[in-house]
Amino acid sequence: MTRSTVPVIVVAGFLGSGKTTLLNHLLRNSGGARIGVLVNDFGSINVDAMLIAGQADSTVSLSNGCMCCAVDADGVQDALARLLRPRAAIDAIVIEASGIAEPRTLVRMVTELDDPRLRYGGLVYLVDAASGSSLRTRHPEIDRHVEIADLMVVNKSDLVGDDELTRIRADIRAVNDTAPLVVTTEGGIDPTALFDVLPRDVEDDRVRSRQLTLDELLDECAHEPRAHDDAGRHGHLHDAFTSVEFTSEAPLQPRRLAEFLERPPAGCYRIKGVVSFDVPGHRQRFVVHAVGGFVRVQRETWGGRPRVSTLVAIGTDMDADLVDRRLQALVDDGQPDPNGILSVTRHLVTAH
Ligand X SMILES: Nc1nc2c(ncn2[C@@H]2O[C@H](COP(=O)(O)OP(=O)(O)OP(=O)(O)O)[C@@H](O)[C@H]2O)c(=O)[nH]1
Residue 108 makes contact with ligand X by CB under 6 A: no
Binding mask 273-312 for ligand X (x = CB under 6 A): ----------------x-x----x----------------
147 binds ligand X (CB under 6 A): no
User: Residues 191 to 250: which contact ligand X by CB under 6 A?
Assistant: none
Residue 180 and residue 215 in contact, taking contact as beta carbons nearer than 8 Å: yes
CB of 126 to ligand X, least distance (A): 6
Q: Measured from the CB atom, is 49 or 76 closer to ligand X?
A: 49
C-beta separation of 68 from 108 below 8 A: no
156 contributes a contact to ligand X by CB under 6 A: yes
SS3 (DSSP) at 325: helix
CB of 269 to ligand X, least distance (A): 9
Binding footprint of ligand X, residue count (CB under 6 A): 22
When binding is defined by CB under 6 A, the residue of 36, 43, 99, 264 that contacts ligand X is 99
Decide if residue 141 touches ligand X (CB under 6 A): no
Q: Does 15 bind ligand X (CB under 6 A)?
A: yes
d(CA 298, CA 187): 16
We find the least distance from the C-beta atom of residue 216 to ligand X, in angstroms, to be: 26
- Cα–Cα–Cα angle for 255, 258, 263, rounded to 5 degrees: 125
| Beta carbon of residue 4, minimum distance to ligand X (angstroms, whole number) | 29
Among the candidate windows 19-27, 56-64, 77-85, 107-115, which touches ligand X by CB under 6 A?
A: 19-27
Contact 43, 78 (CB under 8 A): no
Spell out, one character per residue from 121 to 140, where the chain touches ligand X: x when CB under 6 A holds, - when not.
--------------------
Tell me which stretch binds ligand X (CB under 6 A): 10-18, 53-61, 252-260, 317-325: 10-18
Candidate ranges 71-79, 151-159, 213-221, 327-335; the one touching ligand X (CB under 6 A): 151-159
Q: Which of residues 33 and 160 has its CB atom nearest to ligand X in the complex? A: 160
Q: How far is the CB of 26 from ligand X (least distance, A)?
A: 12
Residue 60 β-bridge partners: 38
3-state secondary structure of 312: strand
Question: Can residue 18 be called a binding residue for ligand X (CB under 6 A)?
Answer: yes
> Could you tell me where the beta strands, DSSP code E, fall in 87-224?
92-96, 118-128, 151-155, 181-183
Is 185 a binding residue for ligand X by CB under 6 A? The answer is yes
> Is the CB of residue 139 less than 8 Å from the CB of residue 14?
yes
> Could you give the count of Cα atoms lying within 13 Å of 164 in the half-sphere of its Cβ?
14
Indicate which single residue of 72, 115, 158, 317 sits in contact with ligand X (rule: CB under 6 A). 158
**3-state SS, residue 197:** coil
Interactions with ligand X, residue window 29-68 (CB under 6 A): 48
What is the DSSP code (8-state) at residue 278?
A: -
Torsion on CA atoms 325, 326, 330, 334, rounded to nearest 10? 70
Of the candidate residues 17, 30, 58, 176, the single one contacting ligand X (CB under 6 A): 17
Between residues 17 and 276, which has the closer beta carbon with respect to ligand X? 17
Spatial separation of the C-alpha atoms in residues 86 and 283, rounded to whole Å: 40
Q: Three-state DSSP class for 189?
A: coil
Q: Give the end-to-end CA distance of the chain in Å, rounded to a whole number.
A: 37
Kindly give, in sequence order, each residue whose CB lies less than 8 Å from that of residue 73, ignoring residues fewer than 6 positions away.
109, 112, 113
Residue number of the CB closest to ligand X reads 99
Residue 262 Cα distances to 90, 185, 248, 269, angstroms: 40, 22, 20, 11
Binding site for ligand X (CB under 6 A): 13, 15-21, 48, 99, 155-156, 158-159, 185-187, 270, 272, 289, 291, 296
